[in-house]
Amino acid sequence: MVSEKADLKKGKKMDVVAPSTYSTRYFGEDVPKYVMSEEGMPAKAAYQLIHDELNLDGNPSLNLASFNTTWMEPEARQLIMENLNKNFIDHDEYPQSAEIEKRVVNMLARLFNAPEAKSFVGANTVGSSEAIMLGLLAHKWTWKNRQKSRGRPTNKPNIVMGGDVHTVWDKFARYFDVEPRIIPLKPGKYTIDVKDVEKLIDENTICVGAIFGTTFTGGIDPIEKINNLLVKVKKKKGWDIPIHVDGASGAFILPFTNPKMKWDFRLPHVKSINASGHKFGLTYPGCGWVVFRDTKDMPDDIVFKVNYLGGEMPTFTLNFSRGSAMLIAQYYNLLRLGKKGYRRIIKTIMGNAQYLARKLSACGRFNMVSSAEYIPVITVQMKKGAKFSVFDISAKLRERGWIVPAYTLPPNAESVAILRIVVKENFSRDMVELFYNDLMNACKALDKQKPMKAPVTKKGKKKDNIC
């Protein structure tokens, strides 16, 4: 840090001239954004500059686009701060964090009805994307080892999935050289069905991907029916094809709202499930989980052992170093809430989502695509003949601070434009009313807007309005 005398010689005012942070020279000069400065600046000035700049971000409490948790209790935040400096991968140095991971995996395996006779296994991940990658890699290696044992080729693996999958499924297929056999969506049909799956599977299918709460519409694939198909196929043709359930959005919902619904390890072909702790697991990002119904479903080929952290330890992740904080936060939630607490919170979330869905349905402006039947996600289309689009509504709501995404569906259904609303724990019934009123006001304002006309040149020809 430059001394006061040296700084005064340069003709610059020192921070000590006035007590206000905003009176320092750092607020009257450009701050280098892409090249490190030579001298740095006082902590308070750096904090205030960054803090003020981040005010341009959206308000997490008004973010109805993200599935991610935006609020946790003060005690959870305290635990997060206490564990931010721990590298979870260092099991020798932080053995209790590793023990807590095992406990949470056991809790989730039982929540997902893993058979007691099986020795289930799993891992904490950065999020569901990593968890999906790990689950699918395990199935690829299981298939590969089975093919080798039968003297069959291992160079043409494929995976069957719907156009409703998250982009990480496409990434897996491309990154790990697996043929993606995608069941396309179409207007009015936004999930896969058994006939779709039956047409595409064969002896080289490493896995069928089933989505339990899609990002696009909030729908769910018919997992039990797909399982029943695969049971028959195995009996008839000998193809032992597993299901990986992408429960990023639904795995922390259905166990508390509809525990009798079979989508999990009660179905014999469901071999792995991923869940997002940082979605309806009620934990801040990033926290995900992958759970296998049996250790046999996770081949040793994809587990590495390292000894350069102190003692020999297995590692089953795509990354290496990462913090322990969100793992601890997840454990806090499970202890703090228990099943009764989660059930109460999830039912409140679902109740508020369904209440909003009823209001949107009754207002007469939208076609309901999904009404929070399974997960607290509402998706709507504009009714035919509307004077404005869902993109116009999204932009208009942003003027009031609401973040509501508008988008088109994947290929074959790209003509369908959707507005999606995700209801989370901190979205109260009062917030529902505020949002609905702002949405209706946005629609009324758009009703009054006249379409923009292209400027006319002197010759009477229209020209593009290029900025």
Q: What is the pLDDT of residues 409-456, one digit of tens each?
A: 999 999 999 999 999 999 999 999 999 999 999 999 999 987 655 555
pLDDT score at 247: 96
Which top CATH class is 349-447? alpha beta
pLDDT score at 11: 44
Q: Please, are residues 428 and 415 in contact by the beta-carbon 8 Å criterion?
A: no
In the predicted model, what is the mean pLDDT of residues 157-183?
96
Amino acid at 68: N
In the predicted model, what is the mean pLDDT of residues 387-407?
96
Question: Which of the pair, 174 or 117, is modelled with greater confidence?
Answer: 174
Determine if the peptide bond prior to 122 is cis (ω within 30°): no
Query: Whole-angstrom Cα distance, residue 388 to residue 351?
Result: 30
pLDDT score at 467: 36
Instruction: Give the model confidence (pLDDT) of 347-373 as tens digits.
Output: 999 999 999 999 999 999 999 999 999
Q: What is the mean pLDDT of the chain?
A: 89
Domain spans in the chain, listed from the N-terminal domain onward: 4-56, 75-334, 349-447
Q: Which residues are CB-contacts of 35 (< 8 A; sequence separation ≥ 6)?
A: none
Structure tokens at 91: 């099991």
Structure tokens at 318: 């795509």
CATH number of 75-334: 3.90.1150.180, 3.40.640.10, 3.40.50.620, 1.10.3720.10? 3.40.640.10
Determine which helix (DSSP H) or strand (DSSP E) holds 148, and give its type and residue range. helix 128-149
In the predicted model, what is the mean pLDDT of residues 322-343?
95
Torsion sign across C-alpha atoms 249, 255, 258, 262: positive
pLDDT score at 292: 96
Structure tokens at 122: 């799993």
Question: Sheet harboring 179-183: ordered strands across?
Answer: 121-125, 288-292, 270-276, 243-247, 205-211, 158-162, 179-183
Q: What is the number of other CB atoms lying within 10 angstroms of the CB of residue 426?
A: 13
Q: Please, are residues 353 and 377 in contact by the beta-carbon 8 Å criterion?
A: yes
Structure tokens at 327: 């793992």
In the predicted model, what is the mean pLDDT of residues 272-295?
95
Query: Whole-angstrom Cα distance, residue 228 to residue 270?
Result: 11
**At CA 361, angle to CA 358 and CA 367, rounded to 5?**
145
What is the CATH topology of the domain spanning 4-56?
MYOD Basic-Helix-Loop-Helix Domain, subunit B (4.10.280)
3-state SS assignment for residue 452: coil
Q: Please, are residues 293 and 272 in contact by the beta-carbon 8 Å criterion?
A: yes
Query: Whole-angstrom Cα distance, residue 195 to residue 186?
Result: 15
3-state SS assignment for residue 244: strand
**Nearest one of 133, 140, 135 to 121, comparing CA atoms:** 135
Query: Whole-angstrom Cα distance, residue 330 to residue 122?
Result: 15
Q: Please, are residues 396 and 413 in contact by the beta-carbon 8 Å criterion?
A: no
Lowest mean pLDDT among 24-38, 295-309, 433-447: 295-309
Q: If pLDDT is split at 50, 70 and 90, which confidence band does 26 have?
A: confident
Give the start-end residues of each E strand in 38-178.
121-125, 158-162
3-state percent helix, strand, coil for the chain, nearest multiple of 5: 40, 15, 45
Q: If pLDDT is split at 50, 70 and 90, which confidence band does 457 have?
A: low
Asked whether residue 282 carries a pLDDT value surpassing 70, the answer given is yes
The dihedrals phi and psi of 160, each to the nearest 5 degrees, come to -100, 125
Q: If pLDDT is split at 50, 70 and 90, which confidence band does 29 have?
A: confident
Query: Whole-angstrom Cα distance, residue 108 to residue 186?
Result: 34
177-212 in b/e form (b: 16+ CB < 10 A) is: ebeebbbebeeebbbbebebbeebbebbbbbbbbbb
93 φ/ψ sector (left φ>0, alpha ψ -120 to 50, else beta): alpha
Query: Whole-angstrom Cα distance, residue 148 to residue 211?
Result: 30
pLDDT > 70: percent of the chain: 90
Q: Which residues are CB-contacts of 247 (< 8 A; sequence separation ≥ 6)?
A: 112, 212, 213, 263, 273, 274, 275, 276
In the predicted model, what is the mean pLDDT of residues 16-45?
80
Rg of the chain taking only CA atoms, in angstroms: 26
Q: Please, are residues 375 and 416 in contact by the beta-carbon 8 Å criterion?
A: no
The dihedrals phi and psi of 121, each to the nearest 5 degrees, come to -150, 160
pLDDT score at 14: 47
Query: Which residues, listed in sequence order, are joined to residue 270 by a DSSP beta bridge?
Result: 243
